[in-house]
Amino acid sequence: MIKDPTWIFLVVLAVILLAPIVLRRLRIPSIIGLIVAGIVLGEHGLGLIERDRSFEIFGQVGIYLIMFMAGLGLNMGSVKRYGREGVLFGVLTFLVPFFMGLVASHWLLGLGWTTSMLMACIFSSHTLVTYPVVQRYSLSRHPKVVVSVVATAFTTFLSLLILAVVIDMEEARSVWDLVRLALNIVLYGGAMLFCVPRVGRWFLRRYDEPVTQFIFMLLLLFLSAALARLAGIAPLLGAFLCGLLVNRLIPRMSPLMNRIEFFANAFFVPYFLIGVGMLIDVHVFLSSQAILWMAVVMVSVGLLSKWIAAALHQGIMRANSATRLLTFGLSSAHSAGALAIVMTAAAPEVGLLGDDALDATVMLILFSCIVSSIATDRGARRLAIREARTEDNRGAYHGRCLTFYEKKDAVDDLTQLSIMLCNHDIPTPVMGLTVTFEDEATEQQQHEAHSLLERARLLCTSADVTMRIMSRVSNNVVSGIQHATTEYECGEVLLSYDVSAAQNSLLPKLVAASSLEVVAYDNLVPPSTLRRIVVAMPQKAELEVGFYKWVEHVCRVAANIDARMEFHAHADTLPHLRSYLWQHHMSLRAEYHEMPLWTRIMSLQQRVGRDDLMVFVLSRPGFISYRGAMSGLPLQLRRYFSHTNIMMIYPDQGQ
């Protein structure tokens, strides 16, 4: 058996690297390969590696990260819209396995009712082991995935609550102990709901260094898990709740989100799966018919009951077979929750379950993870193919987002906004540009311009977004931007705008010279910490060529930061907005307000604050929705809207 930490680490990394490569050729999910590798390499297999403390610690970190990412991946608008369906599925996928497990444990395994109730909790609980699969197919915000995640939280909480109640009753504790547990849960939930979003928003606005933000999020995660344990509930639920509460602070396409997913999926989640495999002792099942029979019953009832629950949910909601397969796959893997229940009940001071139940539960974990990974992969693939729309990848939104950089202090926020706004379905979706005047192009200025672009490209790379950069020397900034948009087929131009400045000459010149969509942005806080987007547009805005293009861009930003939206438009425009959001962004939380006259925008100054983004949709002179009052907007912004974040959009004119 290998004892040297260097060799142990080398073997684990080799497994993490090679298992997905080999199994991908065999069309087998990599999760299965990692569990099987743990069986083969562990002390019950070839005996190469011992399941020491490192596997327990790293494995615990891995499952916390899975639950944390599940909370992060939820769209809060989807939770609000599909929360009832999630609770319905949670009830089904808890009650069906619970009663089937209760009956099977008592009548087929000959266990007492108290022990059978604990076994039923094992059947009812499940863990989102296969959640990385839906992330790979970009389905983490799909309604059925949201439903499954909500159901997971529901079943895990109920299972662990019943475990605590049964143990307290068995140990003859007073009813006040149960009351104290309920109070702890309420106090913990209230403190988390009040503190985590506020502390998180304050920290992310104050400190923008990427590593500092990443460490802070990990600190919040483990603090939430530790406090959950002190409150008497599962740390898994604490990790999930933490992800849910910081959900709106971490954009889906951002360097911070990319770092969290990489940190989890590259090392800690595989470590957890290998550790699960190392628990399995195949020889025990071959030598004991009683344990083998218990394992057969547990595997059969565990998978069958979860399938029946998914099928009932499909029938009630009239869903298709792909969604049934996906919800079954996400809800059928027994792992951390089952281990927590059986190890708690089998502890010497409790003694409600024996080692045979632990061995059979480990076998349930193995087979349920195998079946779950196959079902999730196939269901996600079918769903992705079924719902793919080729028209989303072509047409008016196909061009690159050209981001023009002038000031050093605007680089981070402009780049973050361009990552949210651009079309990620095309290669190299972002183009970074600086322009230096030909007669002032000193070596120092060119070096500063190059430094701005390198900083922007580094931010894009950390978010897994490809950016192409270019530093031009020209005697005219506008012509430099125009040449770049033509040469590199850009669809929109994003630039910074200083509302407090007395004169901003670049924006009006660029708008007059270009027919592309132009987005000017001035912010007080980082885009990722915005809570609401308020959009004001003139009458007949829906008749402009670029109407749906800018609507899509604003919706992308809102979807990335999970912000609420308010549209203020003419009565004739509102149906077009409702229809587009219903078809393309159902999960967004949007309100629609009638604004008959453009001059009413001044009334919005009281509705917006530091946490909001005020979007003004304008038009160029001579086009359908142009109003003469738009020419005085810069002065009005400086006077009435300097207390909020500003975005001005000039729609694409298609010329």
Cβ atoms 611, 202 nearer than 8 A? no
> Hey, what are 404's tokens?
């023009």
> Hey, what are 614's tokens?
């005020």
pLDDT at 385: 77
Cβ atoms 598, 629 nearer than 8 A? yes
Q: How far apart are CA 449 and CA 436, in angstroms?
A: 8
Tracing tokens 């499954």 back to the chain, one arrives at: 148
The residue type of 595 is M
Which residue, 522, 533, 558, is CA-closest to 611? 533
pLDDT at 359: 79
SS3 (DSSP) at 142: coil
CATH of domain 516-655: 3.40.50
* Largest Cα–Cα separation, the chain: 91
> Hey, what are 484's tokens?
């770049």
Which residue, 90, 87, 79, 93, is CA-closest to 141? 79
> Hey, what are 443's tokens?
């070596």
Cβ atoms 102, 109 nearer than 8 A? no
**615 phi and psi angles, rounded to 5 deg:** -105, 125
Q: How far apart are CA 641 and CA 609, in angstroms?
A: 9
Long-range contacts of 258-266 (CB under 8 A, 24+ apart): 258/462, 258/463, 258/464, 259/210, 259/214, 259/462, 260/65, 260/68, 260/69, 260/72, 260/214, 260/217, 261/69, 261/135, 263/65, 263/214, 264/62, 264/65, 264/66, 264/68, 264/69, 265/132, 265/135, 266/16
Strand partners, 650: 518
**536 phi and psi angles, rounded to 5 deg:** -115, 135
Which pairing describes strands 532-536 and 467-474: parallel, antiparallel, or unpaired?
Answer: unpaired
**613 phi and psi angles, rounded to 5 deg:** -115, 120
CATH architecture, domain 55-387: Up-down Bundle (1.20)
Q: How far apart are CA 212 and CA 189, in angstroms?
A: 26
> How big is the chain by its Cα radius of gyration, in Å?
28
Strand partners, 590: 565
The full DSSP string for 388-454 is: --GGGGSSTT-SEEEEE---GGGHHHHHHHHHHHS-TTSSS-EEEEEEEEGGG--HHHHHHHHHHHH
Cβ contacts of 10 within 8 Å, gap of 6 or more:
none
Q: How many CA atoms lie within 13 A of 57 on its CB side?
A: 3
Query: Where along the chain do its domains lie?
Result: 55-387, 397-496, 516-655
Measured from the Cβ of residue 433, the count of other Cβ atoms closer than 10 Å reads: 27
CATH 2.40.10.340 matches 397-496: no
Cβ atoms 551, 579 nearer than 8 A? no
> Hey, what are 636's tokens?
């009005």
Cβ atoms 165, 174 nearer than 8 A? no
Burial 77-109 (b: 16+ CB within 10 A, else e): bbbebbeebbebbbbbbbbbbbebbbebbbeeb
Q: How far apart are CA 124 and CA 313, in angstroms?
A: 16
Which residue, 143, 158, 160, 153, is CA-closest to 327? 143
Cβ atoms 400, 489 nearer than 8 A? yes
Which residue, 405, 413, 519, is CA-closest to 470? 405
Task: Note whether 55-387 and 516-655 share their fold.
Answer: no
> Hey, what are 598's tokens?
């453009």
Q: CA 94 → CA 126, 194, 365, distances in Å? A: 9, 30, 17
SS3 (DSSP) at 272: helix
Which residue, 359, 357, 364, 306, is CA-closest to 335? 364
pLDDT at 548: 92
Q: How far apart are CA 249 and CA 527, in angstroms?
A: 9
Which pairing describes strands 645-650 and 517-522: parallel, antiparallel, or unpaired?
Answer: antiparallel
Which residue, 512, 500, 496, 536, is CA-closest to 618? 536
Q: How far apart are CA 87 and CA 98, in angstroms?
A: 16
**592 phi and psi angles, rounded to 5 deg:** -125, 125
DSSP 569: E
Q: How far apart are CA 602 and CA 489, in angstroms?
A: 37
Mean pLDDT split into 10-residue runs, the chain, 655 residues: 84 87 72 80 84 83 83 71 86 94 91 88 86 79 85 82 72 68 87 93 87 93 91 80 87 83 86 81 77 90 94 90 91 80 70 78 85 90 70 51 91 92 87 81 77 91 89 85 88 89 77 91 90 94 91 93 93 94 87 90 90 94 86 81 92 80
Cβ contacts of 209 within 8 Å, gap of 6 or more:
none
* Helices vs strands, H then E, count in the chain: 24, 10
